[in-house]
Structure 1
Amino acid sequence: MPQFDFLTLGAQVFGLLITLSLFYYFSINTVIPNFVEVEKSLEQKLIKNTTSISAMNLDLTNNKKLINNSYKLFMQ
C-alpha cells in the first residue's frame, strides 16, 4: 500500500504541508473576515433591539400607570 511505503512518505508529507498551507491562507483571507462581518452585523442588531425593548418597556410602564389612574378616576 502506498500510504505505508517509506519511499513515498516524503512526498505525502510535502503534499500535506502544501495543502494545509493553502487551506490556512484561504481561511485567513476569506472565511474569517466573513465571520467578523456577521458578528458585527449581529452586534448592531442586538444594540438596536435592546434600545427598542427599553423604549417598549417605558411605554408599557406608562400605559400601566395610565390604566391605573383611569381606573381610580372611574371608581370615584
Structure 2
Amino acid sequence: MNIPQFDIITLGAQIFGLLVTLAIFYYYNIKVVIPKFIEIKKFRTKKLKKNNSLVFMVSKDLSSNMWLKTFCYTNFLK
C-alpha cells in the first residue's frame, strides 16, 4: 500500500500544483498586500510627524505657561 504523497508517479503533479499555488500567492502579495502595506505605512508616518509637531508645540506652550504662572506668582508675593 503506497501513500499518495510519497508516490513517485504523482510527484510531478504535486510540484506543478505547488508552483501554481505559489505563483498565485506571489501575484496576490505583489498586487494587493504590499501596496496596502505601503499605503498604511505612509499614512502612519504622516500621522506620527503631525502628532510629533503638535506635541512639541504643546510642550513649548506648557513650559511658557509654567514660566508665566511662576512669574506672576512671584510678583504677587512681592
Range into which the TM-score falls when normalised by the shorter chain: over 0.9
Report the alpha carbon displacement of residue 8 of structure 1 after superposing the two structures with TM: 0.2
Aligned to 1:70: 72
Q: How many residues align?
A: 76
- Offset of 1:68 from its aligned partner? 0.9
Alignment deviations for residues 19-53 of structure 1 (CA, whole Å, 9 cap, x no partner): 10111011000000000000000001001100100
Partner of 1:10: 12
CA RMSD of aligned residues (A): 0.6
TM-score by length of 1: 0.97
The Cα shift of 1:54 comes to: 0.7
Higher relative contact order (CA 8 A, sep 6+): 1
User: Where does residue 57 of structure 2 map in the other structure?
Assistant: 55
Structure 1 stretches of at least 4 aligned residues deviating more than 3 Å after TM superposition? none
Structure 1: gaps of 5 or more residues: none
Question: Which residue is 1:40 aligned to?
Answer: 42
The whole-number CA distance in structure 2 between the counterparts of 1:65 and 1:22 is 63
